[in-house]
Amino acid sequence: MDLSDKAALGRYVAFMHKYNTASRWWVTHNAKVLQRLTSGYAAQPPLEASIFGSMVEYEMWETLDQLQTTVKNNPVSHAFQSSVGWLSSFYSLFYYTDAIALSRNIRVNPTNPWHEFEPEHFVDFHICREFILEVLLGRKRMGVCFNAVFGGGQDKASWIKNQTEVVIPLLWGKIAGTTTKNVTLRSDEVRAGGSNMPGQTFTAPKEEVWAMKKNPYLTVVATQSTSPSDYEVAYYYPDVFHFSGVAQAGYISTTLVQELTKYNTTMKTNTQLRQTMTKKLIQELLDNLFGRWHGRIVSISTLSEFMIEFVSIHPYADYNGRTTRMYAHLAAYEAFSKNVYNPLPHEYISDLDTLSPPSVYGRFTGISSTYIFALMRDMLQELVRAVSLKQTPSYYNLPGWLDLTKSMQMFGLKSTVKFDSVDDKLIESRQFAALFNKIIGPNWGQSLGGSP
């Protein structure tokens, strides 16, 4: 950037004054401005916080897309190219893990937070994220939503078939780095428990146990912990031996219930029959879920409810959380645009999907989305600021990282909190009851409400 070219600077200041730098016009066209900057035509004036403060998420992604186009199609410095590519990849980390894990990862491994969680799968996930951003930017459609309604205007049966046989397998295949022909539904039992706890369990307050037991998909095993308010818990996702909850809820056909009951003993020794029937069970659960969601308005509340149910079905052997988040954002991206905006479902702690009542999880997701998007927006502003001054962006010092912890205030946290090494160990092992007991207090579970 040629700061010595006073004539060019004068033309640029006049140009920016004409269009009002504090308006959204600058936000949605700043890549074109940066193209001028990197070509040496003008210098960047100081940025006003209000330029980014009014930005909504669609505009943030549109702006990043324009930046990527700029560095791809114009001669720019290697530092500028690297900065834009780094931010694009780092943004995907906000979806690859939840925000509490990401904040821990940058503390323990600031130079390579990508390495902290299954790094071998991140590239495929990032490619899938880039794919669904094409939907957000209006360059693709997947037929998930129309006019902010799930399956709006589409035949119900055809829409269900498209979601379960095309859209979801496509996303899962991209995340897993395979083709859709290799995508198969889960065929075996899955038991969830804390891997670092005795007996493969995790600690949960009684309110979370109540919430899990009300989830018809889960079969919960809970025993009293040493603490009077906590339990040691494990649970099973639906399979041929754990289906009573979904049967009572009417989520599977009476014919399937009769089959599962009839072959119960046989399936204990007949592996092929057990796997075939498990897949049949999961397929019926998926068909039922999408059937109930067809025609519903897309909102952060309905998306949060959908995420709870889909991840509770646990249709695949792996990548279920990532597939759940990817589909929820795909639905939001087709439903919302620059003209119709609602917050998108970002997650501060993803584990709370199966541990909280739907209303609590929906509220938590909404609050989390506010702070996570604010941080992502601030990171984009920091990129533009640093590029304009030929500096290296300083992302980890942004106050938004500390503000993320405000997501937990609904559970009784009184202020922001700086996690210590003990906290980071609890986050790494996903022991959130222990974390909340430490930073909030032993009675935090009461904030979940509910009763047995």
Would the pLDDT of 352 be above 80?
yes
- The answer to whether residue 8 is domain-embedded is no
Q: φ and ψ at 189, to 5 degrees?
A: -70, 145
Range of weakest confidence among 42-51, 226-235, 344-353, 392-401:
42-51
Own/partner pairs, 267-273, CB within 8 angstroms, 24+ separation: 267/240, 267/241
Q: Which of 241, 222, 240, 242 is nearest to 232 (CA)?
A: 222
Can you read off the two tokens belonging to residue 310? 């889909």
Instruction: Give one word for 335, left, alpha or beta, with left for phi > 0 and alpha for psi -120 to 50.
Output: alpha
Query: In angstroms, what CA-CA distances link 97 with 101, 263, 320, 352?
Result: 6, 39, 12, 14
Average pLDDT rounded to a whole number, residues 25-48: 44
The reply to whether 216 falls in a domain is no
273-282 mean pLDDT:
97
Q: What is the pLDDT of residue 136?
A: 85
- Residue 114 belongs to some domain of the structure: yes
Cβ atoms of residues 264 and 297 within 8 Å: no
The verdict on residue 445 lying in a domain is no
What pLDDT is recorded for position 344?
77
The predicted model gives 48-71 an average pLDDT of 76
Whether 305 maps to a domain, the answer reads yes
Answer whether 441's CB lies under 8 Å from 433's CB.
no
pLDDT in tens, 317-333: 999 999 999 999 999 88
Amino acid code (one letter) for 24: R
What was the pLDDT predicted at 39?
Answer: 47
**pLDDT on residue 69:** 82
In three-state secondary structure terms, 373 is: helix
pLDDT surpassing 60 at residue 340: no
Band of pLDDT at residue 20, cut at 50, 70 and 90:
very low
Within 10 angstroms of residue 254's Cβ, the number of other Cβ atoms is: 9
- Tokens 């980014």 sit at which residue? 52
Q: Is 444 within the bounds of a domain?
A: no
In a domain, 139, yes or no: yes
The answer to whether residues 103 and 404 touch, using CB atoms and an 8 Å cutoff, is yes
DSSP structure string for 301-360: HHHHHHHHHHHHH--SSS-HHHHHHHHHHHHHHHH--SSS-------S-TTHHHHS-HHH
User: Does position 50 have pLDDT exceeding 80, yes or no?
Assistant: no
Measured between alpha carbons, how far is 48 from 210 in angstroms, rounded to an integer? 48
pLDDT band at 341 (very low <50, low <70, confident <90, very high): low
Burial class (CB in 10 A: 0-12, 13-18, 19+), 377: buried
Q: Which residue has the higher pLDDT, 32 or 131?
A: 131
Q: pLDDT tens for residues 62-95?
A: 888 888 887 777 766 677 788 889 999 999 999 9
Give 202's strand partners.
233
Residue 26 pLDDT level (bands cut at 50, 70, 90)? very low
β-bridge partners, 208? none
Nearest by Cα to 287 from 326, 316, 313: 313
pLDDT grade for 45, boundaries at 50, 70 and 90: very low
**CB under 8 A, 24+ apart: contacts of 184-187:** 184/279, 184/316, 185/278, 185/279, 185/282, 185/283, 185/315, 185/316, 186/278, 186/279, 186/282, 186/314, 186/315, 186/316, 186/317, 187/274, 187/275, 187/276, 187/278, 187/279
Is 70 exceeded by the pLDDT of residue 290?
yes
List pLDDT tens digits, range 203-225: 899 999 999 999 999 999 999 88
What value does the mean pLDDT take over residues 251-264?
A: 96
Model confidence at 396, in pLDDT bands (50, 70, 90)?
A: very high
The H-or-E segment that residue 411 falls in is none
Indicate whether 1 pLDDT > 50: no
pLDDT at 424 exceeding the cut of 80: yes
Query: Is residue 43 scored above 50 in pLDDT?
Result: no
Mean pLDDT across the chain: 85
CB 70 within 8 A of CB 384: no
Residue 7, both tokens: 């004539």
| Cα distances (Å, whole numbers) of residue 14 to 7, 17, 23, 45, 50 | 11, 5, 15, 11, 19
- Domain span at residue 171 reads 79-151+161-177+299-418
Look at residue 310 and tell me if it is in a domain. Answer: yes
Confidence of residue 28 (pLDDT cuts 50, 70, 90): very low
Mean pLDDT of 422-432: 95
Q: Across residues 152-173, what is the average pLDDT?
A: 95
pLDDT at 7 over 70: no
> Does pLDDT of 249 surpass 90?
yes
Please determine, for residue 365, whether its predicted confidence score (pLDDT) is greater than 90.
yes
pLDDT at 267 over 80: yes
Q: How confident is the model at residue 241 (pLDDT cuts 50, 70, 90)?
A: very high
Total number of domains in the chain:
1
